[in-house]
Homo-oligomer: A and B are copies of this chain.
Amino acid sequence: MLDVEAALAQAEADAGLVPPPAAAEIAAACQVPLFDMSGIARRAVAAGNPVAPMVRDLTDAVSAGARPYVHLGATSQDIIDTATSLIAHRALGVVLTDVATVADACAALSEEHATTVMTARTLLQPAVPTTFGLKAAAWLVAVDEARAQLDRVRSERLAIQLGGAAGTLATLDENGVDVARRLAERLGLAEPVMPWHTDRTRMAELAAALATTAGVLGKVARDITLLAQAEVAEVAEGEGADHGGSSTLPQKRNPIRAVLIVAAAERAPGFAATILHAMVQEHERAAGAWHAEWETLRELLRLVGGAGGHAVHMLSSLRVDPARMSAHLRSDGGLVMAESLAHRLSREMGQGAARDVVRRCSAESLERRVPFADVVAGDAEVRRHLTDAEIAAALDPAGYLGSAQALIRRARAAHREQP
C-alpha cells in the first residue's frame, strides 16, 4: 500500500499536479519500518479499512508543504485494490517460476520415460498399457495450461485502480485518466478502461487461475500418492532420510510433498468460490463483499505459492521404478492386455466374436485365478487364429501403445512454444 501511495504521488508529479519535491518527500516516507502496523490495524476498525489511518500517519510524516499531496485524488479502495494487484503480480512471479520448473521436470520425465511401459488405470483399475512418459506428458500439458492462465492474468488483468471516492476521479478534475495511465506505467500494472471498484472480473480471473493451478498440481500429487502406495510402489518421493518419516513408525516413507499439495488443492476451490460470490458488489463500493476478498486472495496466493514450491521438490527428486511398473503389467498373466488381444483377434474373426472369446478368457482367468496368458495359450479358439508368436505379440505391452510416442512429442513441442 505504501508503494502505491509513493507511485501515486510520483505519477501526479509526472502529470504536473504535485510539485516534484513533495512527491519525492512522500515517496521517501513510504517505508514500512516507519509505520506502526498494530496501531494502524487497531484504528482500521472504525474506518472499515487500514488505508485511512495509514494515510493519516503518512501525512503526519511529511512536511506541511507536502501534506496536501498525500493520497491526492484517491480513495481507500484505490490503494487496497492497486496494492492487491501489485502483491499478486509479485507473488505470481514466484509461482510462475516454480510452475515453469515443474513443467520442465514433467518434460524431462516424459522424455526419459517415453518408453517405460506401465499400467494405465481408469477408475483405479488396470485398463491398458501406457508409458510413464505419456503420463508425465499429460501432467506437462496440464501444468502448461495452468501456466498460460496465470501468465495471462498477470500480464493483462492485474491492473491499477484509480477512481476517487466513487469512480469519477472528481478531485483530479480533468487529469484523472492521465494520472491513471502514468500510475499503471510506474507500477508495471495494466491500465483499466475505467475504475473497476465494483467490477470484480479481474479478481475472479486471478482466483480462478490460482485454483486451476492448485487443481493441476493436486492431480499430479494425487497420482503420486497413489503410485507411491506400498502395494504399487512405482514411484517414491526421494528427498532423503528424514523426509516423510514418522516418529513412531520407522518403516514409513510418506509422500509428504504430495500430501501437502493435495491439501492445497482441497482448499483452493473454497477460496475461489468466495471470490466469485463476492462479485455481486453494490453500487460504487460494496458493503462487505469487497472486504471479503482481502484475506481470501492473500490465503489463496500463499496456498498456491506453497503448493508450487512443494511440487518443485516433489518432481525434481521423484524416484521412478520401471521394474515395478513392468511387473504390474505382467501380474495376473497380463490381464491388462485383454483389449490388445481382442483388437488383434478381431482382424481374424471379427470384432464381436473376438470380444466374446477374450471376455471368456478374462472371466476364466479372474474366477479361477489362472494367469491370463495361460488361459489364452490353452484356448482352442484363440489358437485356431493366432500362432504362439502372434499371441505373444498381442500380449506384449510395448506393442500396444498406439500413439503414445506421437502424443509425447506433441506435448513436448507445445511446451517448447510456451513463453
A250 close to B48 (CB less than 8 A): no
Say if the beta carbon of A10 comes within 8 Å of chain B.
no
Interface string of A57-95 (1 = CB under 8 A from B): 000000000011001000110000000000000000000
- A289's nearest neighbour on chain B, judged by CB, is B266
Say if the beta carbon of A155 comes within 8 Å of chain B.
no
A168 close to B124 (CB less than 8 A): no
Q: Find residues 354-405 in chain A having any chain B CB closer than 8 Å to their own CB.
A: 355, 358-359, 362-363, 365-366, 372, 400-404
Say if the beta carbon of A38 comes within 8 Å of chain B.
no
- A284's nearest neighbour on chain B, judged by CB, is B120
Contacts of A214 in B (CB 8 A): 276
Q: Which of A1-9, A13-21, A23-31, A142-150 contacts B (4 or more CB under 8 A)?
A: A142-150
A46 close to B245 (CB less than 8 A): yes
Say if the beta carbon of A32 comes within 8 Å of chain B.
no
Contacts A120-B166, A288-B263, A411-B194 given; indicate if A212 touches B276 (C-beta within 8 A).
yes
B212 close to A204 (CB less than 8 A): yes
Interface string of A284-296 (1 = CB under 8 A from B): 1111111110011
A199 close to B291 (CB less than 8 A): no
Instruction: Say how many copies of this protein the assembly contains.
Output: 4
B165 close to A122 (CB less than 8 A): yes
| Closest chain B CB from A241 CB (angstroms) | 8
Say if the beta carbon of A336 comes within 8 Å of chain B.
yes
| Closest chain B CB from A305 CB (angstroms) | 14
Taking a contact as CB atoms closer than 8 A, the residue among B45, B246, B342 that contacts A52 in the complex is B246
Contacts of A211 in B (CB 8 A): 204, 276
B272 close to A276 (CB less than 8 A): yes
CA distance A198 to B138 in the complex (A): 8
CA distance A287 to B99 in the complex (A): 22
Contacts of A231 in B (CB 8 A): 229, 231-232, 328, 331
Contacts of A260 in B (CB 8 A): 45, 48, 288, 291
Contacts of A122 in B (CB 8 A): 75, 165-166, 249, 254, 283-285
B229 close to A55 (CB less than 8 A): no
Contacts of A402 in B (CB 8 A): 164, 168-174, 176
Contacts A199-B145, A219-B279, A276-B272 given; indicate if A335 touches B251 (C-beta within 8 A).
yes
Contacts of A164 in B (CB 8 A): 128, 402
Contacts A120-B167, A123-B48, A254-B125 given; indicate if A138 touches B195 (C-beta within 8 A).
yes
Taking a contact as CB atoms closer than 8 A, the residue among B204, B242, B252 that contacts A125 in the complex is B252
CA distance A327 to B87 in the complex (A): 42
Taking a contact as CB atoms closer than 8 A, the residue among B124, B197, B239, B372 that contacts A287 in the complex is B124
Interface string of A240-281 (1 = CB under 8 A from B): 001111111111111110111111111111111110111111
Say if the beta carbon of A407 comes within 8 Å of chain B.
yes
Contacts of A71 in B (CB 8 A): 247
| Closest chain B CB from A215 CB (angstroms) | 3
Say if the beta carbon of A222 comes within 8 Å of chain B.
yes
A205 close to B212 (CB less than 8 A): yes
Contacts of A201 in B (CB 8 A): 142, 145-146, 149, 212, 215-216
B141 close to A230 (CB less than 8 A): no
Say if the beta carbon of A338 comes within 8 Å of chain B.
yes
A48 close to B272 (CB less than 8 A): no
CA distance A138 to B201 in the complex (A): 12
Contacts of A348 in B (CB 8 A): none
Taking a contact as CB atoms closer than 8 A, the residue among B165, B266, B287, B299 that contacts A255 in the complex is B287
Q: Given contact pairs A120-B167, A267-B295, enumerate 17 new A-B contacts (beta carbons under 8 Å).
A: A47-B245, A51-B247, A55-B247, A128-B165, A146-B201, A165-B248, A199-B219, A219-B281, A226-B282, A231-B232, A231-B328, A250-B339, A250-B362, A262-B280, A262-B289, A266-B274, A268-B276
